[in-house]
Amino acid sequence: MCGIVGYIGNKQAAPILLDGLSKLEYRGYDSAGIAVYNGEKIDMVKSKGRLKVLDELTHGGETLPGTVGIGHTRWATHGSPSDKNAHPHFNKDNSIVVVHNGIIENYLKLKKKLEKKGYKFVSETDTEVVAHLLDYYYNGNPLQAVTKIMHRMEGSYALGIIFQDHPDELYAVRKDSPLIVGHTDGGNIIASDVPAVLKYTRNVFFIENEEIVRMTRDTMEFFTVDEEPIEKESVKIDWDINAAEKGGYEHFMLKEMYEQPKAITDTFSPRLKDGNIVIEELNMSDEDIKAIKKIMIVACGSAYHTGITSKYVFEDMARLPVEVDLASEFRYRRPILEEGTLVIVISQSGETADTLAALRESQELGAKVLGIVNVVGSSIAREADNVMYTWAGPEIAVATTKAYSAQLIALYLLAMKFAYVRGMVDASEMEELIRDMKALPAQVEMLLNNKGKIQRFANRYLAAKDVFFIGRGIDYAISLEGSLKLKEISYIHSEAYAAGELKHGTISLIEEGTLVAAVLTQRDLYKKMISNMVEVGTRGAFVLAVTNEGNVEVERAADYVIYIPETNKYFTNSLAIIPLQLFGYYIAIGRGCDVDKPRNLAKSVTVE
């Protein structure tokens, strides 16, 4: 995730910026840069790669003298990782410089308008729009220019800004992307995250949405977007650096689970426009979409599970046949890809060796490949014919949570788009689906906030030997992921079964006290599922049910029930997975496992 640091004070800014950015390295980034006002003009150095490169290029900051500066570590979103896309970004005459976290959703529209007015863009980023927009509105009053661009920009942003002709000031502003500021000994500092400032201060001001900060060496003023001054109270931070890196959460996995509402919103919101789904990066006309005869989804692990969910969604909603395969199987089975088959590969890292090989195999067989990828500029993103990014931000915990949730959203969006174009969903149905999608972030948050109930339940099963997950349809796909989350981080043996398969062998494993987690979110399958639950219950299983609010009928067959809020039948995975992620997490920490780095696993599987 991108990181911001800014400093104005009596000390040299560059070493403080480099030091602050180094405290944000753990968040993941692909390029870095700093800009410092040298007494006459703004100097800037930026480069692709590690912070070490920047440190060497600037001799630890020595070659950028000056006491006002901004710095940035970039996690690519718009535009690949490169020197020119790295932040900071200048306006046309290098007199305004900007660092930015977040996504300017209407940047293409703004860019076109600015280009018409003669502005030239040197990068592919959305951030450069901010620098030129500031230039456009700037008439000697920085605060006014900042408020004006805030009225024009849609999306999320935390910004650090320096105006060359106001060199004793540093500006910062935020909307839906975190930003803090603090007084230090002999200066003031801004940062996107607490770890960057801990060495300099423990008293920070959390900037709220649409608030602006104007700082000098010794003053700090806060304003609303209407330029009204605001009073703010500082907050004392007691976290040590370890806790600060995790935003105060005990583990990255928990932090990332809590980032799911944002990952979901960031993935759908740029693609919902005026009641329609617009996926520009698909590069497909309605005619192209209508010509698709079959979808072949290929992925590994959790990404494969999102593929299975989407099979049910695509087939039911868009009436399009879908085949889902594990990349490691697909690549060696001489697959048949008939004309009209769209191959979709799904990958968080974009580097998974089997998925990449499956992509290449598909292209060799003449198919067009759409990548659903989280890491911008990764191998899969580069090689796929088209890329639809999930905007989950970097995932640090090995077990995926927020990228998984973002993948589901990307797949729902595609299914909705295809269904609409193919005439399987009408405008009013689309309106309802979009309404339900927009409700998901708050519903996920609510489920996360009920974590205490799941923790108490998990604590009873710390010594479990085998846990089975069962479900039908989409609930089977949810079960697969719930089971993987549990086993990969807690090392408890677990399997997921299509509930109807129990009788064909698995049921012999059920004995007194075996935990069976039953997922039932599909109304038309409630009865069948309840019968399966009764079957295992009568053989001594303890049955945990995850079901929709109001399905009290389930209580006659379950020993413990977790209810999820109401949504449509297609999106239930996004909600039902939350208690299952929490269940795996709490079992694992109860057993003393290293949840963020489970044994034998790597975040990115770049070898076979």
Closer residue to ligand F6R, CB minimum distance, 130 or 444: 444
CA torsion through residues 395, 397, 402, 408, sign: positive
Binding part of the chain for ligand F6R, among 25-33, 296-304, 431-439, 561-569 by CB under 6 A, reads 296-304
Q: Interface residues for ligand F6R in 369-408 (CB under 6 A)?
A: 399-400
In the complex, the smallest distance separating the C-beta of residue 490 from ligand F6R, rounded to whole angstroms, is 12
Binding residues for ligand F6R restricted to 486-505, rule: CB under 6 A:
488
- Of 2, 311, 451, 485, catalytic: 2
> Which residue's C-beta sits nearest to ligand F6R?
301
Do the beta carbons of residue 21 and residue 41 sit within 8 Å? no
Residue 35 or 577 having the CB closest to ligand F6R: 577
CB atoms within 10 A of CB 32: 31
Q: Which is nearer to ligand F6R, 94 or 604 (CB)?
A: 604
Residues 30 and 10: their CA atoms lie apart, in Å, by: 30
CB 316 within 8 A of CB 474: no
User: Can 2 be counted among the known catalytic residues?
Assistant: yes
> Between 540 and 579, how does the x/- string for binding to ligand F6R read (CB under 6 A)?
----------------------------------------
Of 404, 522, 526, 424, nearest to 474 (Cα)? Answer: 522
d(CA 256, CA 395): 7
Beta carbon of residue 355, minimum distance to ligand F6R (angstroms, whole number): 5
Closer by beta carbon to ligand F6R, 355 or else 547: 355
| Distance of closest approach, residue 529 Cβ to ligand F6R, in angstroms | 25
User: Which residue from 9, 195, 261, 301 is in contact with ligand F6R, where contact means CB under 6 A?
Assistant: 301
Question: What does 127-165 look like in DSSP terms, one character per residue?
Answer: HHHHHHHHHHH-SS-HHHHHHHHHHH--B-EEEEEEETT
Is 309 a binding residue for ligand F6R by CB under 6 A? The answer is no
For ligand F6R, the binding residues in 468-487 under the rule CB under 6 A are: 484
Cβ-based nearer residue to ligand F6R, 98 or 300:
300
CB of 288 to ligand F6R, least distance (A): 26
Residue 412 has which token pair? Answer: 């729902």
302 binds ligand F6R (CB under 6 A): yes
Residue (300 or 543) nearer to ligand F6R, CB: 300
Contact flag: residue 170 with ligand F6R (CB under 6 A): no
Considering the candidates 23, 148, 255, 603, report the single residue annotated as catalytic. Answer: 603
DSSP structural state of residue 196 = G
Considering the complex, what minimum distance in angstroms separates the CB of residue 478 from ligand F6R? 14
What is the footprint of ligand F6R within residues 317-376 (CB under 6 A)?
347-349, 352, 355
Which tokens sit at 199? 């060495």
**C-alpha–C-alpha distance, residues 88 and 173, integer Å:** 15
Q: Which amino acid is at 11?
A: K
CA atoms within 13 A on the CB side of 116: 5
Q: Which of residues 309 and 349 has its CB atom nearest to ligand F6R in the complex?
A: 349
Point out which residues pair with 31 in neighbouring strands.
Answer: 48, 74
Task: Spell out, one character per residue from 225 to 254, where the chain touches ligand F6R: x when CB under 6 A holds, - when not.
Answer: ------------------------------
CA-derived radius of gyration, the chain:
25
Q: Which stretch binds ligand F6R (CB under 6 A): 20-28, 300-308, 525-533, 544-552?
A: 300-308
Residue number with CB closer to ligand F6R (320 or 399): 399
Q: Give the separation between CA 225 and CA 232, rounded to whole angstroms.
A: 15
Minimum CB separation from ligand F6R for residue 272, in Å?
A: 24
Contact predicate 377/76, CB 8 Å: yes
- Smallest distance, Å, CB 406 to ligand F6R? 11
Nearer to ligand F6R, 212 or 410 (CB): 410
How far apart CA 323 and CA 304 sit, in angstroms, is 11
Residue 470 carries which side chain, given as an amino acid letter?
A: I
Shortest separation between residue 402's beta carbon and ligand F6R, angstroms: 11
Q: Which residue has the tokens 């992307």?
A: 177
| Residue 300 makes contact with ligand F6R by CB under 6 A | yes
- At 296, the amino acid letter reads M
* Cα–Cα separations (whole angstroms), residue 558 to 204, 366, 471, 548: 48, 50, 14, 14
Binders in 185-214 for ligand F6R, by CB under 6 A:
none
Question: Please, what is the minimum distance in Å from the beta carbon of residue 344 to ligand F6R?
Answer: 13
Residue labelled with tokens 């060799």: 364
The residues near 514 (Cβ < 8 Å, ≥ 6 apart) are 466, 467, 468, 536, 540, 541, 542
Q: Minimal CA–CA distance to 389: which of 366, 368, 423, 413?
A: 413
> In the complex, what is the shortest distance from the CB of residue 603 to ligand F6R, in angstroms, rounded to a whole number?
7
Q: Per rule CB under 6 A, is residue 310 in the interface with ligand F6R?
A: no
Q: State how far the Cα of 414 lies from the Cα of 392, in Å rounded to an integer.
A: 17
State phi, psi for 385 to the nearest 5 degrees.
Answer: -70, -40
- The reply on whether position 605 binds ligand F6R by CB under 6 A is yes
The stretch near ligand F6R (CB under 6 A) out of 80-88, 265-273, 294-302, 493-501 is 294-302
Sequence-separated contacts (24+) of 42-46 with Cβ below 8 Å:
42/90, 42/94, 42/95, 42/97, 42/162, 42/164, 44/88, 44/90, 44/94, 44/97, 46/72, 46/83, 46/86, 46/87, 46/88
Q: Which is nearer to ligand F6R, 102 or 598 (CB)?
A: 598
| 510 neighbors 539 (Cβ within 8 angstroms) | yes
The footprint of ligand F6R on this chain (CB under 6 A) covers a number of residues equal to: 15
Least distance from ligand F6R to the Cβ atom of residue 229, Å: 47
What's the rounded Cα separation, in Å, for the pair 181 and 175? 15
Which of residues 16 and 303 has its CB atom nearest to ligand F6R in the complex?
Answer: 303
Which helix H or strand E contains 520, and what residues bound it? strand 515-520
Q: Is 300 in the active site?
A: no
- Interface residues with ligand F6R (CB under 6 A)? 300-303, 347-349, 352, 355, 399-400, 484, 488, 604-605
Catalytic residue numbers, as ranges: 2, 603
